[in-house]
Chains A and B, each alone.
Chain A
Amino acid sequence: EVQLVESGGDLVQPGGSLRLSCAASGFIFRNYWMSWVRQAPGKGLEWVANIKDDGTEKYYVDSVKGRFTISRDNAKNSVYLQMNSLRTEDTAVYYCAVSGDWGQGTLVTVSS
């Protein structure tokens, strides 16, 4: 059974940084693309970024390009999202995802 456990969400001031982590189990991690998606309070779902199985390709939604970086460590079965220059509109629950399966999410709140 696929298990994805996100961590690292917190309250941060605008302009600040945060690193999210996702620990994966129940599948052969190194064989799969991984994604981050998010949902702002009261809003719809938004795909944020994904990374190829070997880490050589990364793609981002336009609103986070240049600010967020997705990475992975196949030895640790983990994927990360480094978020810099955070804005209030980045406030959301962030989910780690693989092949349509998601974790329970971690809350990021950007506020002064």
Chain B
Amino acid sequence: SYELTQPPSVSVSPGQTARITCSGDALPKRYAYWYQQKSGQAPVKVIYEDTKRPSGIPERFSGSSSGTMAILTIYGAQVEDEADYYCYSSDSSGNVWVFGGGTKLTVL
């Protein structure tokens, strides 16, 4: 079955740039979505269709994609950005979807 692979954890100091990767064989052909989930809360979409940012999401959140990897970049990470981040995409058929295992971002 199709899989998306994320690092379990990323740690940065406040004001630094955080990069969270997501690798999958179908990513060259399929959009990636990124979700932020803070403790005890429902997930929030922070990036959709690889690079688009929903209204209300700070500009420091940026998405990119190259080959089999999608990347979520948080420029000038803030303490309030501490959360679990999940990538989400489909297999090559576009019919079966999958989440990455999630990355815990620590900002301190």
Contacts and interface: CB of A to CB of B under 8 A. Distances in A.
Interface of A: 35, 37, 39, 44-47, 50, 57, 59, 61-62, 93, 95, 99-102, 104-105
B99 A44 contact: yes
Interface in B76-100: 84, 86, 88, 95-99
Contact of A50 (B42, B45, B95, B101): B95
Chain B interface residue number, banded: 10 to 19
Nearest to B45: A100
Contacts of B37: 45
Interface string B11-45: 00000000000000000000001010100001101
Contact of B1 (A37, A62, A100, A105): A62
B95 to A, nearest CB: 5
Given A62-B1, A100-B33, A100-B48, A47 B43 contact: no
| Nearest 6 A/B pairs, CB to CB | A47-B97, A45-B99, A44-B102, A59-B95, A100-B48, A100-B33
Interface of B: 1, 33, 35, 37, 42-43, 45, 48, 84, 86, 88, 95-99, 101-102
A87 to B, nearest CB: 19
B95 A57 contact: yes
19 contacts: A37-B99, A44-B102, A45-B37, A45-B43, A45-B99, A45-B102, A47-B98, A47-B99, A50-B95, A59-B95, A61-B96, A93-B42, A95-B43, A100-B33, A100-B45, A100-B48, A100-B88, A102-B42, A104-B42
Contacts of B33: 100
B61 to A, nearest CB: 14
B100 to A, nearest CB: 8
B1 A45 contact: no
Given A39-B43, A95-B42, A100-B45, 10 more contacts: A45-B35, A47-B97, A50-B95, A59-B95, A59-B96, A100-B48, A100-B88, A102-B42, A104-B42, A105-B42
